[in-house]
């Protein structure tokens, strides 16, 4: 154990020495994972309620995903998008069959998917409405990525500071406020871009009728509705896509995180009408829709869709989780302000900074995440069980009781 601890210490020293300091990392080196469990390089076991921040929808190293990757790796790793790619075609067909969309563009991350959505929107608007229609309204407190366009779309100054000048063409309104959205529309507006639930912003769930009204406002003003489902898609909220909760469909939707079950893949989906504005040469990605990642994504999507078990389970576990956390809130009303979420994207808002709780939970073998300063965010694999949730809640009780 001592020798293994030294290996971890050396690795962390090398991490500090050789990697750019873009992350505030926990002092842990994770080496192995199965289901909801991960193990550190010192052999210590953890329950993973971070799940790659909504990436590991099927848990770690799900056999179906692993086998799909192994098989595809033996057949074909990569070919250029100058050719048709079998797993890419199959994945696009599956996504379109199970969503509002008619067409898919593949890329490698959430930011790239949103970047593609912004480009498609601008091109569509110019072709249909003229040069002046380029402005996209997004929400304050939103998160859409770290490229220059997507960090500008992100309605949080802290992510933009130091990178000015930002991209022109974005305007921000408070989330879940339909009047503010209506008032922000100008003759330059071409689209509204929103997360169905704000993830990084602190798991903010809008009122039930908000998106119906957003859709109406978009239709009335000839605006496209772009939904960023990078975090909420792929079953996370208990439906395959979160927009299904709201009884509307978007014109464009972006996916990444859970899409590949752990491998890097992003996708931008659109209706036929909108997608027609992309023609050969409009946009591209060398690795986008690569055979290996598409094979993993097909396995992930098929597992989620198989007989509906995972989505039912996600809903049941989500309700159980919220019930248990609400009991904890009753025990610690001075420390816990709110419990909220949908499916298995759940938040516990504290009156205090959440960082010490993240550290204390990790010491006790449970990995959780803190966002927006004081919001503990739980995005475990969708196959999490009651006993795992019970354990997390016990540990949280010990941590908050100190």
Annotated catalytic sites, by residue? 143, 228, 257
200 lies in the site for ligand PLP, by CB under 6 A:
yes
255 lies in the site for ligand PLP, by CB under 6 A:
no
Measured from the CB atom, is 256 or 328 closer to ligand PLP? 256
Could you tell me the smallest distance in angstroms from the CB atom of residue 394 to ligand PLP? 29
Instruction: Describe the crossing of helices 63-75 and 291-305 by its angle, rounded to 10 degrees.
Output: 150
Helices (H), 276-385: 291-305, 309-331, 355-363
Identify the DSSP state of 130.
-
**Quick check: 117 and 125 in contact, CB under 8 A?**
no
Q: Which residues, including other chains, have CB under 8 Å from residue 76's CB and lie 6 or more apart? A: 291
Distance CA 253, CA 101 (A): 8
Structure tokens at 397: 């009780």
Q: How far, in Å, are 203, 289, 328, 332, 336 from residue 349 at the CA level?
A: 9, 38, 12, 12, 6
243 lies in the site for ligand PLP, by CB under 6 A:
no
Applying CB under 6 A, what is the total number of residues that bind ligand PLP?
14
Q: Which residues, including other chains, have CB under 8 Å from residue 329's CB and lie 6 or more apart? A: 336, 338, 339, 348
258 lies in the site for ligand PLP, by CB under 6 A:
no
Could you tell me the smallest distance in angstroms from the CB atom of residue 149 to ligand PLP? 12
Identify the DSSP state of 109.
S
Site for ligand PLP in 81-110 (CB under 6 A): 109-110
Q: Near ligand PLP by CB under 6 A, which window of 7-15, 227-235, 377-385, 392-400?
A: 227-235
Could you tell me the smallest distance in angstroms from the CB atom of residue 289 to ligand PLP? 16
The residue ranges of DSSP E strands in 170-282, in sequence order, are: 170-173, 189-194, 224-228, 252-255, 266-270
262 lies in the site for ligand PLP, by CB under 6 A:
no
Could you tell me the smallest distance in angstroms from the CB atom of residue 355 to ligand PLP? 18
Could you tell me the smallest distance in angstroms from the CB atom of residue 211 to ligand PLP? 15
- DSSP β-bridge partners for residue 60: 35
Can you tell me which of 48, 228, 251, 388 binds ligand PLP, judged by CB under 6 A? 228
Measured from the CB atom, is 106 or 399 closer to ligand PLP? 106
Q: Near ligand PLP by CB under 6 A, which window of 225-233, 238-246, 267-275, 296-304?
A: 225-233
290 lies in the site for ligand PLP, by CB under 6 A:
no
Distance CA 108, CA 367 (A): 26
Counting every residue, how long is the chain? 402
- Please calculate the CA angle 147-148-153 and round it to the nearest 5 degrees: 95
Binding mask 47-76 for ligand PLP (x = CB under 6 A): ------------------------------
Peptide bond into 165 cis (omega under 30): yes
Structure tokens at 167: 């991209």
Could you tell me the smallest distance in angstroms from the CB atom of residue 309 to ligand PLP? 26
Measured from the CB atom, is 199 or 318 closer to ligand PLP? 199
Our separate counts of H helices and E strands in the chain read: 14, 15
Could you tell me the smallest distance in angstroms from the CB atom of residue 157 to ligand PLP? 17
199 lies in the site for ligand PLP, by CB under 6 A:
yes
Binding mask 131-150 for ligand PLP (x = CB under 6 A): ------------xxx-----
361 lies in the site for ligand PLP, by CB under 6 A:
no
Rule CB under 6 A: which residues touch ligand PLP? 109-111, 114, 143-145, 195, 199-200, 228, 230-231, 256
């Amino acid at each position: 154990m001592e020798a293994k601890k030294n290996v971890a210490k050396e690795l962390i020293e090398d991490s500090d020495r050789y990697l750019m300091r873009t992350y505030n990392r926990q002092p842990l080196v994770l080496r192995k994972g199965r289901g909801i469990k991960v193990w550190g390089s010192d052999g210590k076991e953890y329950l993973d309620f971070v799940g790659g921040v909504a990436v590991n929808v099927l848990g770690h190293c799900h056999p179906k995903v692993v086998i799909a990757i192994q098989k595809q790796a033996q057949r074909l790793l990569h070919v250029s998008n100058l050719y048709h790619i079998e797993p890419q075609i199959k994945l696009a067909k599956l996504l379109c069959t199970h969503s509002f969309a008619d067409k898919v563009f593949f890329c490698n991350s959430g930011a790239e998917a949103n970047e593609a959505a912004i480009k498609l929107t601008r091109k569509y608007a110019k072709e249909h409405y003229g040069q002046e229609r380029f402005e996209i309204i997004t929400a304050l407190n939103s998160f859409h990525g770290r490229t220059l366009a997507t960090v500008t779309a992100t309605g949080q100054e802290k992510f933009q500071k130091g990178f000015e000048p930002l991209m022109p063409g974005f305007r921000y309104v408070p989330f879940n406020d339909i009047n503010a959205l209506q008032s922000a529309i100008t003759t330059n507006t071409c689209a509204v871009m929103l997360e169905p639930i704000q993830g990084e912003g602190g798991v903010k769930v809008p009122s039930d009728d908000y998106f119906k009204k957003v859709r109406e406002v978009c239709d009335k003003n000839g605006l496209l509705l772009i939904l960023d489902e990078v975090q909420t898609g792929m079953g996370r909220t208990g439906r395959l896509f979160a927009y299904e909760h709201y009884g509307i469909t978007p014109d464009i939707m972006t996916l990444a995180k859970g899409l590949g079950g752990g491998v890097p893949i992003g996708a931008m989906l659109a209706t036929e009408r909108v997608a027609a504005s992309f023609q050969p040469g409009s946009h591209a990605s060398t690795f986008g829709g690569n055979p290996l990642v598409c094979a993993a994504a097909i396995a992930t999507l098929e597992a989620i869709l198989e007989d509906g078990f995972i989505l039912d389970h996600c809903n049941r576990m989500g309700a159980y989780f919220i019930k248990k956390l609400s009991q904890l809130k009753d025990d610690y009303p001075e420390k816990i302000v709110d419990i909220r979420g949908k499916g298995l994207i759940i938040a516990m808002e504290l009156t205090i900074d959440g960082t010490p709780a993240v550290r204390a939970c990790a010491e006790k073998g449970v990995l959780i995440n803190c966002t927006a300063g004081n919001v503990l965010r739980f995005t475990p694999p969708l196959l999490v069980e009651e006993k795992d949730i019970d354990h997390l809640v016990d540990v949280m009780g010990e941590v908050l009781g100190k």
